Structure 1
Amino acid sequence: MWAHLDANMHMRHSAYADFAAQARIEVLDEMGLNMKTFQKLHIGPILFREETTYLREVGVNETITVTTELVKSKKDASRWTIRHELFKEDGVKAAIIVVEGAWIDVLKRKLATLPEELAEHFVHMRRSADFVEME
């Protein structure tokens, strides 16, 4: 989209993060971790770190595909790392985005945990080949 471009006429750096965030929201939604559930529980995802490695430029009107994999997680899903890979329509990897996060109680403004049933869904997200369970 035009709004995703920068002065060099390729996708701007922050658009990569926007696409990764949308992919995370879609994956969470599929697990029942949607906005309605978050509002009911007063919990939401929070990022501590986000790192992007840019590999290839994405031009105007190019279609991209975003993958989402769980790379690390505590058993209770209280802390986690997710990796996204963005691919151009020809299959060439354009970027890798790694985010480290947790859950926040939006009323107390403190870290929180998911209810056990939702945590169980979360830790069974598609795992990467190099998945590590955190202590």
Structure 2
Amino acid sequence: MYKKQFEIRWSDVDANGHLANSAYTNFMSHARMSFFGEHGFSMPEIRKYNVGPVVFYEHMYYFKESFIGAPITVTIEVSGLSEDGMLFMFKHDFYNENGDNLAYCEMQGAWIDLKARKLTALPKPLLSLAEKFPKSEDFKILTKADTRKHGVQPKPLSVQTI
């Protein structure tokens, strides 16, 4: 399990004085990029291959409040990866200094070719690194069907909804 520690800043709290939902997203993103960097996927390295990560969804569950100045720890477990490395899934947990679980998030994403602007398999050197990621106990091989598990599809905007 990968861990990254943060301190809640003034800009991380909302009108209620507790950690804002957008801050959870920012902390997860920062933790993921640190995780990637420490596993050979630094920004300069992935740019060599012209790929970048994209998020499909982040599904959050909130359990306890946290406030400005409090230290928090964000954990990451890799819970899914497709055979070609295109798709990935992470579990994130947020903990306070007492070890209380503040929130949980399941996140799914993929790699995109930055020129073609389309999803792409990882190049072999990156795939071999990704296959070595530490994995969760419930790790699974992802398929494209897993990207539609919630049944959400794009829908056109109708004139009536404008």
TM-score, with structure 2 as normaliser:
0.79
Q: Once superposed, what is the RMSD of the aligned Cα atoms? A: 1.1
SS of the residue corresponding to residue 18 of structure 1 reads helix
State which drifts further: 124-133 or 3-12.
124-133
User: Which position in structure 2 is the counterpart of 1:116?
Assistant: 124
For 1:112 and 1:130, locate their aligned partners in 2 and report how far apart those are by CA, in whole Å. 25
SS of the residue corresponding to residue 37 of structure 1 reads helix
State which drifts further: 20-29 or 75-84.
75-84
For 1:126 and 1:89, locate their aligned partners in 2 and report how far apart those are by CA, in whole Å. 24
1:51 CA drift (Å): 0.9
Aligned residue pair count: 135
Q: 1:66 aligns with which of 61, 68, 74?
A: 74
List gaps (5 residues or longer) in structure 1.
Answer: none
User: Which position in structure 1 is the counterpart of 2:31?
Assistant: 23
User: Which position in structure 2 is the counterpart of 1:44?
Assistant: 52
Aligned sequence identity (%): 33
List gaps (5 residues or longer) in structure 2.
Answer: 1-8, 144-162
Q: 1:86 aligns with which of 75, 83, 94?
A: 94
User: Which position in structure 2 is the counterpart of 1:125?
Assistant: 133
SS of the residue corresponding to residue 132 of structure 2 reads coil
1:38 CA drift (Å): 2.2
User: Which position in structure 1 is the counterpart of 2:112?
Assistant: 104
* Kept after mapping to 2: 8 A contact 1:76/1:120: no
Q: 4+ residue runs of structure 1 moved beyond 2 angstroms?
A: none
For 1:80 and 1:36, locate their aligned partners in 2 and report how far apart those are by CA, in whole Å. 20
